[in-house]
Structure 1
Amino acid sequence: MNPRYAVLSALVALCGIWLSKYQTVTGIAGTAFLVIVIVIQIKRKSLLILCFLPLFFIYSQYDLKHSKSKIPHDQMIFTGQISTIPKIDGKMLRFYYETNNETIVVQHKMKSSIEKVQLSNLEINMTCMLKGNLKEPEQKSHFYGMNYPEYLKNKDIYWILETRDFNLDYCQMKNKLDFQDKIKLLRSRAIQQIESQFSKNTAGLMNALLFGYRDGIESGTLQAYQRLGLTHLLAVSGFNVGIVSFILYFFFVRVGIVKEFAYLIIIFFLPVYIVLTGGESSILRAGLMGIIVMLVMMFRKKVSPATLLSGVCIGMLVYHPSYSFELGFQLSFLMTFVLITSISLFQGRSYISLLIMTSFMCSLFSFPIILYHFYEFSIWSIPFNMIYIPFVSLVLFPISFVALVLAFSVPGVISHVSFFIEFVFEFSVTLLTYAQSLKGSIVLGRPATWLFVFYFISIFYFFYKWEVNKRFQLQLAIPFLLIILIHTFIPYFNSKATVTFLNVGQGDSILIELPYRKAVYLIDTGGTISFDKEDWEKREEEYDVTKEVVLPFLKAKGIREIDGMIISHGDMDHAGGATFLLENFKVNTVYLPVNQSDNELEETIQIAAQAKDIELIRLSKGMQWGTDQTFFYVLHPGSSPYSSNNGSIVLWVNLFNQRFLFTGDLEKEGEAEIMYNFNDLHADVLKIGHHGSATSSTDDFLKKLSPQYAIISAGKNNIYGHPAHEVVERLKHERIEIYRTDQHGDISFEVGKESLEIRTSQ
């Protein structure tokens, strides 16, 4: 088959699947453009290729329609098999579980250290009887957060089982394991063997390279790989398949086995290797291509690499259309396609030139995808890809392989070589950590769909012209650089203001963006309230809502600096993330309430601001700034002594014709003082004080303000019972429209001169 026809067929199939799920204007326009190109370029055979569009559209619709659970939601007793390596983090146990021919996620909260020790003996393939309640995965609660239900649905998983009681006595290893289960068990025990012989981080990296198992890598190391665009090196890929196949082929030929029989042995081994390395879409792609290449070599046929890649792509989409939405699938096929279609550029190049070119190509083509998922890129990405691709491939992977063989064959030798192995891996991590600390990350934000498309058009144009001209010309990069400039400056052409109430659980964090992004203000940072835990309960990395929610949101919006960080008061759920942001983000000014006896947290914030030479201003009643269209006025606190909550900064903000009132944790005493001082006060949008506590939002206050919308920031199923039932009833009685972060997730108000648009993430 003509390689061009094969590639276009695969692209059309992908378009059919994507359109069946996301029928966006950009997607439809892009598909229409592809159809026009095919008709003009291919003419007679275009109809045959275009048939893939409706076929895969209908097939994907059929797959989506029939992708539903057959397990009743009220079922409480289950018998099934553990299908993934059980993961213990603190007091939480988690694994995938196959029951009734369906996979569900099991989550168990352990009650004691004794139970934790007992359940650490769980293994993959064990058959267990479980009791518990099924619940649906929680809906996406952040605009730029992970869509966990969709992620699970793409794996045909629809339920999470929260167990009531779980004991190792309820589990036993199957008497008869099939071949695939034996391979999975071998993989699990090999991973455990590596973990028992090396430090946590070294073992995590080795297991990622050998088995595609990344759960053991420390978060700081994984973050360094992500920020430098090196995550692809931690995924088992085509290179691993090539190395393993070459080693096997070399060994078989050396012992006298004929080439054809050696090919046949490798063909039978590669499916085993796919299961052994986790069976993710990237390794499945590489394994299938390896098998077909071996068959082609056996029968001495010729197949274009592009045709082979396209055929495997279409085959995988037929088997499981949802593969197309996986990041691993997208990157694996894109990078492979780029390299096999750029062979003419590689001819006659030295090893160093090839290394530079392949690193440059992979970095450039993955650029839009990296931006979409991580919102920033590092200028060190290309040089570090040049260093780390050969280093990982020719040093870390072989060392890991040899260490695995030694761990199983002569484990006593490991103690003599572990120092060297640890040194090599720790050196690689130290180098990455140092590189990450250098100023080189540029935040652009998540590109809009149309920008995403234009990024790829400009990149393909760059390489197409390079191949046609047979030489590198810097001016070919002008369209790509122009797209980056457009991406960078788009927010500064937005004439609307935006106020976003971030879902930070039981806390507050509100982002205000002025028109044309003239200024960005963050009111409170959220903060994770920590409770005393025993050692066995502590997670490998405790959850930090500011790190996991607020910082990614800022980056996703393309925000590179905060003009003003306003801390309403020094409670942990409002200010707990302030020092983290001051250390990891550019902040120009910090605002704290005036005339309060600073608590320990406020003192820490003040010290952190001074250490960074950041201006610190104390806000008090009557202070104001802005213009007629974007005006800020401080209503509280005054000069009187207050309790912590009633000492909150209360800020009245006018954005065009919409008036917002932000009240922190203000209670009824503070509300009464504001009503006394500001008789004509009104607000269109009221941030309800103290998370909807019964001590706030009195009838008089609500009637005085007469807001149209009320925002309650509270954690889902929080232990305080916020918001109080009586507060909700008061709001309903006043016919105020209620938005709650525990029910709606992130809440955004986009304010124009004569418009108001409200969006939520749920």
Structure 2
Amino acid sequence: MIFSGKIISIPKIDGNLLSFELETYDETVVVYHKIKSAVEKEQLNNLSIHLSCVLKGKLEEPQTKTHFYGMDYREYLRNNNIYWILKTVEFGVDHCEKTKNPSVHEQIDTWRSKKIKALENHFSANTAGLMNALLFGYRDGIEAETLQYYQGLGLTHLLAVSGFNVGIVTYILYLILVRLGVIKEIAYILIILFLPIYIVLTGAESSIIRAGMMGMIVLLIMMFKGKLHPVTLLSFVCIGMLSYDPSFAFDLGFQLSFLMTFVLITSIYVLENASSIGLLIMTSSICSLFSFPIILYHFFEFSLLSIPFNVLYIPFVSLVLFPISFVILLLSLFVPEAILTVKELIESLFNFSVLFMEKAQFLKMTVVLGRPTDWIYALYFCAIFYFMYRWEVTKQIHILIVMPFLLVCFIHWGLPYVNPKATVSFINVGQGDSILVELPYRKAVYLIDTGGSFSFGQEDWEKREEEYDVTKEVVYPFLKAKGIRRLDGLIITHGDLDHAGGGEFLLDHIKVENVSLPHKRKGNDLETFIETAAAKNNIDVVKLAKGMQWESAHSLFLVLHPGSKESTSNNNSIVLWLKVYDQTFLLTGDIEAEAETAIINSFPKIKSDVLKVGHHGSVTSSTPSFLNSVSPRYGIISAGENNMYGHPAPEVLKRLRGRGIIIYRTDEHGDISFVVDKKGLKVKTAQ
């Protein structure tokens, strides 16, 4: 199909992928274009916002939520009134032209885009990215690692243009106008007229819209010498924004912006007599406290360094980095050649700010609590409001008013250890395997395989800023969301990349008691690499072989394979039979017909309620004799959506259905969890 429309977001090129939002005559779509050559990439660098383009492609629905704790991309786009993704078949710069008679809004947007690119041309990617975040609210240019540093230390709010920026810009503009002899009332009017322009210049995110609207209303009230309580003003702005676009309510920036502003306004009585340093410490502490449950819900952890780093970085960013960025912007407008004389100093300053945060990561002061349940979430806010109320009444902080909050933290931390239920989760890692076993009362936690991302040979121009790592992006957040801080065992069924590719990452990022590998004379390169990484971290390595077993908390693990016979990597996979209460699971790695025959010969009476179908549903596995012997009720297939191998094979699906086995697939159901107790088991899926 052929589509025509106008580009309404700054085109982003990451490796061999171009993306932007396109406004057609009746709706907005997200466009993805795969770049075919370095020459084409160079040409596409000339794309800019508000060009009118014609392109050929096909529409696809955005992917729904495939992980229990991941983002629902379809819901995210729908909240922004976007319902389709357009994947191009044919597109190029020559398919675009400048928009005729652009509106004022479009002209401001275009100017913003040019200035963002100008800073990117003058400075390194990270320095320009931080400047553009502070000046224009554009964060796409910041390196992924730097964003993680800010997030890990609770500083991401400093990269969002907010009320502080509006206050500084308004104050500077007022001083300039007064110095020029403009009377106060006219100065107010000029600032009110400028603020909508500033909102557009800074990306029109919910936090800046809130700050800009409040600034305009305050100036109007001052002009007419009226009075309005700040909470009433905040409420009017909130209602106004939600009336205009109800989807603002689902935006994390909107939630945090209004909550923090409300909290600071209503905390005036505990802040009014504080010194400058005391005020900074108290406001940082209050904001950190109130954002605590929200941060936990989205990121599952918090940093003990958050408050001290906020105390350090709020003045540093606000009074040093932001003004310097503003001066650099002015230089780029009026004396661009002067930038060369200060470039090295500016780069050093911004790099130092990032380096300091990087070094702080090694302090390991992040506490993982997991995503709070609804009632824990409510208890956090009750405890926080109680703390603030008692602080305001007594004008002092003592242990009794802090105890309810600490108690909720303890309950949140300890809940898994009083839960009699076990959970076996098949994590959706695409074309790979990763299975999390949590025993009753969290007596032990085992991760069986890590998933892994395939890396195909690419030229330098094709490589993304940060290559997708399924272990880092899916498995590790899954563990953190569950509040898992250590693994009693990391079991690698065999050394294929899609099963063991994330082994080193996990060993470096989470405490592991021991690593288990298949018992054989010589491991492959990846198994040897994981064994070396375990030794580096002083972690014991256990070689599992047929007949080995261990028990824990109403649970029994029995190793069915490998035996003494050497075979292919797939047929040397560790096969585990797990019994929890009266429910059984057979976890088969990538075994094929040869290993299946060996298992039913050695364990002819082995049965299982749940079978992890071997080798992602390959036709070489799940033989009729094996399925007849195991006779499972459920069959779990871990495979990537539209994978190149054609997994699962139609013949295997036919065999499973023919025996009345209920099939769950990660490519269709996303994450799959079996919750086990004395009464039986229940299945939950992400989709």
**TM-score, normalised by the number of residues in structure 1:** 0.90
Provide the residue aligned with 1:78 in structure 2. Answer: 3
Provide the residue aligned with 1:539 in structure 2. Answer: 464
- Pairing 1:653–2:574 present: no
Pairing 1:610-689 to 2, within 5 Å after superposition? 610-627=535-552, 629-689=554-614
DSSP-derived class of the 2:578 partner? strand
Q: Residues 315 and 748 of structure 1: is their aligned pair in 2 closer, same or farther, counting only changes over 3 Å?
A: same
Pairing 1:64-463 to 2, within 5 Å after superposition? 76-463=1-388
Query: Partner amino acid for 2:110?
Result: L
DSSP-derived class of the 1:164 partner? strand
Provide the residue aligned with 1:10 in structure 2. Answer: none
User: What's the offset of the Cα at 1:77?
Assistant: 1.7
Q: Is the 8 A contact 2:439 2:553 kept in 1?
A: no
Provide the residue aligned with 1:477 in structure 2. Answer: 402
Q: 1:551 aligns with which of 454, 476, 498?
A: 476
DSSP-derived class of the 1:245 partner? helix
Query: Partner amino acid for 2:103?
Result: D
Deviations 1:548-581 (Å, cap 9, x if unpaired)?
0000000000000000000000000000000000
User: What's the offset of the Cα at 1:110?
Assistant: 1.3
Q: Distance in 1 between matches of 2:252 and 2:119?
A: 27
User: What's the offset of the Cα at 1:473?
Assistant: 2.3
DSSP-derived class of the 1:718 partner? coil
Q: Is the 8 A contact 2:444 2:552 kept in 1?
A: no
Q: Is the 8 A contact 1:633 1:653 kept in 2?
A: yes
Q: Residues 713 and 339 of structure 1: is their aligned pair in 2 closer, same or farther, counting only changes over 3 Å?
A: same
Q: Distance in 2 between matches of 1:118 and 1:387?
A: 43
User: What's the offset of the Cα at 1:115?
Assistant: 1.4
List alignment gaps of at least 5 residues for structure 2.
none
User: What's the offset of the Cα at 1:755?
Assistant: 2.3
User: What's the offset of the Cα at 1:285?
Assistant: 0.4
Q: Is the 8 A contact 1:596 1:647 kept in 2?
A: no
DSSP-derived class of the 2:547 partner? coil
Provide the residue aligned with 1:54 in structure 2. Answer: none
More off after superposition, 329-338 vs 591-600: 591-600
- Pairing 1:495–2:420 present: yes
Q: Is the 8 A contact 1:596 1:642 kept in 2?
A: no
Deviations 1:66-116 (Å, cap 9, x if unpaired)?
xxxxxxxxxx22111000000111111100110023111011111111211
Q: Distance in 1 between matches of 2:244 and 2:187?
A: 29
Q: Is the 8 A contact 1:248 1:266 kept in 2?
A: yes
Q: Distance in 2 between matches of 1:252 and 1:345?
A: 35
Provide the residue aligned with 1:70 in structure 2. Answer: none
DSSP-derived class of the 1:604 partner? helix
Q: Is the 8 A contact 1:683 1:705 kept in 2?
A: yes
Query: Partner amino acid for 1:475?
Result: L
User: What's the offset of the Cα at 1:735?
Assistant: 1.1
Deviations 1:717-744 (Å, cap 9, x if unpaired)?
0001111111111111111110000000
DSSP-derived class of the 1:757 partner? strand
Query: Partner amino acid for 1:374?
Result: F
Q: Residues 628 and 212 of structure 1: is their aligned pair in 2 closer, same or farther, counting only changes over 3 Å?
A: closer
Q: 2:492 aligns with which of 558, 563, 567?
A: 567
User: What's the offset of the Cα at 1:415?
Assistant: 0.7
Q: Distance in 2 between matches of 1:136 and 1:735?
A: 32
DSSP-derived class of the 1:131 partner? strand
DSSP-derived class of the 2:499 partner? helix
Query: Partner amino acid for 1:712?
Result: I
Alignment RMSD: 0.8
Q: Is the 8 A contact 2:583 2:680 kept in 1?
A: no
Provide the residue aligned with 1:731 in structure 2. Answer: 656
Q: Is the 8 A contact 1:230 1:381 kept in 2?
A: yes
Q: Is the 8 A contact 1:632 1:651 kept in 2?
A: yes
DSSP-derived class of the 2:87 partner? strand
DSSP-derived class of the 2:456 partner? coil
Q: Distance in 2 between matches of 1:391 and 1:515?
A: 48
- Pairing 1:759–2:681 present: no
DSSP-derived class of the 1:88 partner? strand
Q: Distance in 2 between matches of 1:97 and 1:551?
A: 34
- Pairing 1:581–2:506 present: yes
Q: 2:438 aligns with which of 506, 509, 513?
A: 513
User: What's the offset of the Cα at 1:472?
Assistant: 2.3
Q: Distance in 2 between matches of 1:300 and 1:101?
A: 45
Q: Distance in 2 between matches of 1:295 and 1:495?
A: 60
Q: Distance in 2 between matches of 1:184 and 1:293?
A: 26
DSSP-derived class of the 2:488 partner? strand
User: What's the offset of the Cα at 1:127?
Assistant: 0.1
Q: Distance in 1 between matches of 2:328 and 2:455?
A: 40
Q: Distance in 2 between matches of 1:133 and 1:657?
A: 50
Q: Report sequence identity in percent.
A: 62
Q: Distance in 2 between matches of 1:490 and 1:409?
A: 60
Pairing 1:584-595 to 2, within 5 Å after superposition? 584-595=509-520
- How many residues align? The count is 687
Write out the 4+ residue segments of structure 1 that deviate beyond 4 Å after TM superposition.
none
**TM-score, normalised by the number of residues in structure 2:** 0.99
Q: Residues 225 and 628 of structure 1: is their aligned pair in 2 closer, same or farther, counting only changes over 3 Å?
A: closer
Query: Partner amino acid for 1:679?
Result: P
